[in-house]
Amino acid sequence: MSTVTAPAFLPFARPALDEATIRGVADVLESGWITSGPKVAEFEAELSKLFAARPVRAFANGTATMETALRVAGIGPGDEVITTSITWVATANVIVAVGATPVFADIDPTTRNIDLQAVEDAITPRTRALMPVYLAGLPVDMDRLYAIARRHGLRVIEDAAQAIGSRWNEKLIGSFGDLVSFSFQANKNITCAEGGCLVLSSHFEARRAEQLRLQGVVRSGLDGMDVVMPGGKSNLTDINAAIGLGQLRRLGEVTRRRAELAKAYFEVARQMQLEDLGIVLPPPTRGQGAITNWHMFQVMLPANAQRAAVMQLMRDAGVGTGVHYPALHLFSYYRSLGWREGMLPQAERAGRSLLTLPLFPAMSTGDVERACAALAAACRQVAR
């Protein structure tokens, strides 16, 4: 009697580590130098090449990069920083951490990124910086963003955590602009397991970032040490850098494969008529000048669909999903700062309804079909 084996569970993300990368980590472990050292320096050099020879500093995570960027820019108590509510809460938390005030602007319902007209409307005499987030890897209109910043004399701190490999007018995000922060956390397009990097506007600011990431220490000679500022400890290890170097070599391949899978999603969604169920797909053409790295494929569920119920039904069918992100201005802490439901209606709608479907390079077209079929079945069931 034959048995039918159920397909393996399909997660929404899965890192791909090749044998060369694993060997690279083993080499670091065998070397005896496992904290910040030659591999971190090599990783920073390769990232600088990628980003048009701009200075780059690697960090233990993408939260530390953003906080460091704020401190490098001199943002502190009494200052306001405009950002979006549809992002991982770290984006706002780092603004609070430096003593500044986060000001949330609503999103564009099509791109799901911060609405640049809402940004301009939110600028006050206390505004010192803009912190856009490139949700799912999609850049905002970079020309308009920087025009606003120049007009009002503001720094721009790009939360490009999800956007490595994305482009604006054929230029890589990070190869131009002001301060640009990337994350290499486990579910990003390339990963260090945990890590991040900050692209800086000058070597002076890069040196300041170095000091901030390791206790404000400045060394001279064999035994000279001074502390010039109260820094923290967010240096990347050589173990993580070895993973990052292996991943960086595959960035082009990974970016191309994610684009192929996104194209497959659009084709399968059309065949299965997902939009007839009230499911809103991401825009297939990503706006004039913007090319996403397809970090995530996010759909908007029908307004009356209970997202948790859809997620559970899809899980029961062997398909994982994610939520990126609840509208963070409605979290308890940010409510304590005066934010309330109804203040950012587009962000609140997205925060209730966005659902991240599986997307990672090892997926097949069959996996895309599984995900779409499970989504369609779940939406039909919750609509009954």
Residues identified as active-site: 188
Q: For tokens 């797909």, what's the residue? A: 281
* Buried/exposed 210-235: b ≥16 CB within 10 Å, e otherwise: bbbbeebeeeeeeeeeeeeeebbebb
Q: Which residue(s) pair with 291 in the sheet?
A: 167
Task: For residue 240, count CB atoms less than 10 angstroms from its CB and return exposed for 0-12, middle for 13-18, buried for 19 or more.
Answer: buried
Residue 263's identity, in one-letter code, is K
Q: DSSP character for 140?
A: -
DSSP for 290-357? EE---S-EEEEPPTT--HHHHHHHHHHTTB--B-----GGGSHHHHHTT--TTSSHHHHHHHHHEEEE
Query: Euclidean distance between the first and final Cα of the chain, in Å?
Result: 38
Are the C-beta atoms of 296 and 324 separated by less than 8 Å?
Answer: yes
Is the backbone peptide bond immediately before 333 cis, with ω within 30 degrees of 0?
A: no
